[in-house]
Structure 1
Amino acid sequence: MSDTPRLHRAGTTLLDRARDLRPLIESEAGRAEAEGRLTTPVVDALHEAGVFGLWVPAPLGGAELSPRELLDVFEELTYADPSTGWVVMATTLENGTAGAYLGDDAVELLFKGPRMPLIAGQGTRPGVAVPDSGGFRLTGQWSFASGMLHAQYAHSAAAVEGTHEVRIFITPIEDVTMLGNWDVLGLRATGSVDYTIDGAFVPESQSHDFLTTEPLRGGAIFRLGLLDQALICHSGWALGIGRRLLDELARYAGARTGRPGQLAGSDAFHTDFARAEAAFRAASALIRETWDDVERTLDGGGRLGTRQETMVRLALNHITATIGEVAGFVYRSGGTTALRDGLIQRLFRDAQAGTAHILSGPQALRECGRELAGLAEGQSWAVLSLEG
């Protein structure tokens, strides 16, 4: 078990590299959307910049960013292109948790190469794992495996037969059958295909308890567990796409200054833009305030209390709902420019896809309200619900 009481912080190097990649990512975004996956130049550049190691524990050569540092990098990459930000947030989470929680034999296999591995998959809707000598036989079908088309390994949740314990299993991509069914409204370049695995053997060291908060290597961020770390991903993504939506609308309006009947001269637009900007900034501030509080707790060697667990879920839910409203406002204000194929239309579609994620769904919001109203005394969070 890790004996590191504090968060590891890596500084702004990876944020600076992510910012430097923006021109390349933006220039490749259209082609990536058409191909349904990130382009090779972008994936290679992300590897070369060390981005796929940003969550990997420091003892394995990763950057092991803190929650606030992760938020900043995901925001930056998502601002450049929401699909790129989505793929990076999903795969780096799975890289990091694999490095923290898997057994030594698995880590030796996965992290021995000159490049960080790229792990993709799905941690919900579990398959079935049958205990076998020294490991498990894994079978199932999973949906929305973001980044799978670039991955060397799959990360899949499954319930162990006979115990119903849910574990994460890491398998070589050769054990995966991709279904190739990524025909969607938004986030098209994420290549989040469905996939199946049929009876693949997974050694014990290549699996870990889904709910574990005890890292074998790495620092305090891994004491959050897999689910709470996933909230960092989606919060950073929301920060990036929300900011880009409003900035693109401002550029669109500014380009039409002086033309009769355009947005730039509309008092109603000015008022609505101010409201949208205020709503987004308020939601962003709640994200940062909440994760600042988490970092203080982790730095002190503590674990999150129920109210803190509520707030990280509420902050994500709130900013997700806010960017949904912002995206609608931007699309309506964009007129025929938003209607036609282009950046504003793509941002709108990506926002609709991103806001549909289960982590930002109504179940968690209802449970947040119950806890905040003092109606869940003695209960604690178990994934997306409060239990006694």
Structure 2
Amino acid sequence: MAPTAQELLAAARELQPALRERAAQTEAERRIPKESGEALLQTGLLRAVQPKRWGGSEVDPWVFNQAIMTLAEACGSTGWVLGVVGVHNWQLGLFPEEAQEEVWGEDPSLQISSSYAPTGQVEAVPGGFRLSGTWAFSSGCDLCDWVFLGGIVPGAGFDMRTFLLPRSDYRIDDNWQVMGLRGTGSKNIVVEGAFVPEHRTHRMADGFACQSPGQAVNPGPLYRLPFGCVFASCVAAPAVGAARGALRALVDQAEGRFSTLDGQLAAEDPIVRSVLARSASEIDAAAASFERHWEELLALAEAGAPMPIPLRARFRSELAFAVERCTRAVFDLFQVGGSRAIFDDNPLQRLLRDAIAMRAHAINNPDKAGQLRAQVELGANDDAFAGFL
């Protein structure tokens, strides 16, 4: 029996102490440690949005977003990997049934990493496509046996797809030497002339239209949601968690830290108190935006109603601005954390680096997401947004 929503959230909370203890190890190894990866699988967290027919929990995205936030509060890298890898179990549910069977037929616990930017070459060949090139930033790839790669099919029109490849068709190039999200192992994927059959592809336009082949066997409301919103929420949620972690760290440290200038207890410093209160409000508002928009979208999905473009554009913009607000909150909290905040063993500096790296993801760019919303508000053609909303 797959875990319920309540059991998944409880499991996420129970993992926090161990993840905090392993945070330094996670950064040193530049990937999620074996113990953490096993815990994500054993608790069912990685399979939270996997179809029930494959043994997943098939919970709604807000539940999954909360689990991601909870883990990221303890370790930004682990929360990030849960979000980015875990959401792929949802997307595979949109692929044709034959592709789902290939991946999960013998072992439904197998995981998929990704790199969606279409940086490789795609050639149309009989029965499918041939891929070559290098794709970057494949978070959690060491934990996975398959990969999603983005590519554009040559020919008339804009046909961007996700291509599904087994581990035997690619190699991992370890180039992950970075300042933030060090433990995500977001390495390069290198492909040399791999054949991908038609059924192992998913059209971006189908995800945008909420009409994907996998819905024939996964008809629940979870799989009627727009790809752009589901994926974006899972790469935005870790920033909320990181900000909560920074808030907790400041509170814990302020209760026992005294100023070397005037001997004042940090917890009694009005500047510290002001920053703490403002940051807490920003973080709470960011999380509330997730919940509010998911309530609206899920109600539509359950009713079998269309997903309005203005609502989707608003949500995408709000997600990116939530990341921006949380990143600023972490920076503000770090600034009042005292000189000890710069030490390697202080979670404030780690969470700040992680938040900056999260904000750097293209999906989390508030200017780009804001432009999408503004264009919709100004009456631009829906076709211009296929796949991004």
The TM-score with structure 2 as length reference comes to 0.90
1:90-101 matches, cutoff 5 A: 90-98=84-92, 100-101=93-94
Partner of 2:200: 206
Which residue, out of 155, 165, 188, partners 1:162? Answer: 155
Match of 2:361 in 1: 357
> Percentage identity across aligned positions?
27
1:227 matches 2:228: yes
CA positional deviation for 1:126 = 4.3
Q: 1:287 and 2:296 equivalent?
A: no
What do residues 238-281 of structure 1 show as CA deviations (whole Å, max 9, x unaligned)?
22112111111111111226981342232222222222222222
1:157 Cα offset (Å): 0.9
1:32 matched to 2:26: yes
- Structure-2 separation of matches of 1:311 and 1:86: 23
Q: 1:45 to 1:294 in 2, by over 3 A?
A: same
Q: Does residue 94 of structure 2 align to residue 83 of structure 1?
A: no
Which of residues 318, 322, 327 in structure 1 aligns to 2:325?
Answer: 322
1:367 equivalenced with 2:378 (yes/no): no
Counterpart in the other structure of 1:13:
7
User: Residue 128 of structure 1: CA displacement?
Assistant: 2.6
Aligned partners of 1:143 and 1:274: how far apart in 2? Answer: 38
| Pairwise CA distance, 1:82 | 1.0
Alignment of 1:1-388 (within 5 A): 10-98=4-92, 100-163=93-156, 164-212=158-206, 213-215=210-212, 216=214, 217-218=217-218, 219-256=220-257, 260-342=263-345, 343-361=347-365, 362-371=367-376, 374-376=377-379, 379=382, 382=385
Report the residue type matching 1:93 in the other structure.
V
Instruction: Summarize deviations over 1:194-214 as a string: whole Å, max 9, x none.
Output: 222111011222112123222
- Asked whether the equivalents of residues 363 and 385 of structure 1 are also in contact (C-alpha less than 8 Å), the reply is no
CA distance in 1, matches of 2:111, 2:380: 41
Cα RMSD between the aligned structures?
2.2
Structure 1 residue 145, shift from structure 2 partner = 0.5
Counterparts in 2 of 1:294 and 1:225: CA distance versus 1, 3 Å: closer
Q: Closer, same or farther in 2 for the Cα pair 1:312/1:252, shift >3 Å?
A: same
- What is the distance in 1 between the residues matched to 2:180 and 2:18? 21
Shift of residue 186, structure 1, vs aligned partner: 0.5
Following superposition, the deviation at residue 299 of structure 1 comes to 1.6
Per-residue CA distance 1:83-142 (angstroms, 9 max, x = gap): 0111111111112211x2222332222102345111001112342322223221112221
Asked if 2 retains the 8 angstrom alpha-carbon contact of 1:140 and 1:198, the reply is: yes
Q: CA deviation at 1:222?
A: 2.1
Instruction: Determine if contact 1:245/1:347 at 8 Å carries over to the other structure.
Output: yes
Please list every run of at least 4 consecutive aligned residues from structure 1 whose deviation after the TM superposition is greater than 4 angstroms. 377-381, 383-386
Paired residues of 2:16 and 2:74 also in contact (CA < 8 A): yes
CA displacement at 1:35 relative to structure 2: 0.6
Contact 2:118 2:152 in 1 (8 A): no
Q: How has the CA–CA distance of structure 1 residues 22 and 208 changed in structure 2, closer, same or farther, with 3 Å as cutoff?
A: same
Deviates more, 1:11-20 or 1:307-316: 11-20
- Opposite residue 382 of structure 1, the aligned amino acid is F
Q: Distance in 2 between matches of 1:291 and 1:85?
A: 20
Which runs of 5 or more residues in structure 1 are unaligned?
1-8
In 2, Cα distance between equivalents of 1:306 and 1:162: 27
What is the distance in 1 between the residues matched to 2:387 and 2:129? 27
2: CA distance, partners of 1:385 / 1:66: 20
Distance in 2 between the 1:97 and 1:271 partners?
42
> Whole-Å Cα distance in 2 between the matches of residues 224 and 346 of structure 1?
34
Which digits, 9 at most, give the CA deviation of each residue in 1:36-61, with x for residues without a partner?
Answer: 01111111121111222111111222
Distance in 1, matches of 2:311 and 2:379, equals: 14
Q: Would you say the 8 A contact 2:176–2:187 is kept in 1?
A: yes
Partner Cα separation in structure 2 for residue 162 and residue 366 of structure 1 = 28
CA shift for structure 1 position 12: 1.3
Q: How many residues align?
A: 376
Q: Quick one: which amino acid aligns to residue 256 of structure 2? A: A
| TM-score of the superposed pair, with normalisation by structure 1 | 0.90
Where 2:105 maps in the other structure, the secondary structure is: coil
* 1:381 Cα deviation from its structure 2 partner: 6.2
1:128 is matched by which residue type in structure 2? Q
